[in-house]
Amino acid sequence: MKLYRFLTGPDDASFCHKVTAALNKGWHIYGSPTYAFNSVTGIMQCGQAVVKDVDGVDYIPGTTKLSDH
């Protein structure tokens, strides 16, 4: 199965750690990062898509927990 996640967070070290943790679990960067201003919080937000292939497992919507992989 191929998995997709879109990681988001504030423009600070916590976002970089979130992406780094995903990469160390075997996820791969997919596309370019995004960067936008959140007018509600007044904080810049980052986003990065990541993908991962997992062999021998079927994807079941509502059951497959992406963060387990």
Residue 30 lies in a domain: yes
Spatial distance between the Cα atoms of 18 and 34, rounded to a whole number of angstroms: 15
Query: What is the percent of the chain where pLDDT is above 70?
Result: 100
Q: What is the pLDDT of residue 49?
A: 98
Spatial distance between the Cα atoms of 11 and 59, rounded to a whole number of angstroms: 31
Spatial distance between the Cα atoms of 38 and 57, rounded to a whole number of angstroms: 37
Evaluate whether 61 touches 26 at the Cβ level (below 8 Å).
no
Residue 64 lies in a domain: no
Residue 67 lies in a domain: no
Residue 24 lies in a domain: yes
What's the structural domain count of the chain? 1
Task: Give the range of the structural domain holding residue 7, as residue numbers without chain letter.
Answer: 2-53
pLDDT digits (tens, 9 = 90+) for 2-31: 999 999 999 999 999 999 999 999 999 999
The average confidence (pLDDT) of the chain is 94
Residue 66 lies in a domain: no
Please give the model's pTM, rounded to 2 decimal places. Answer: 0.85
Residue 43 lies in a domain: yes
Residue 32 lies in a domain: yes
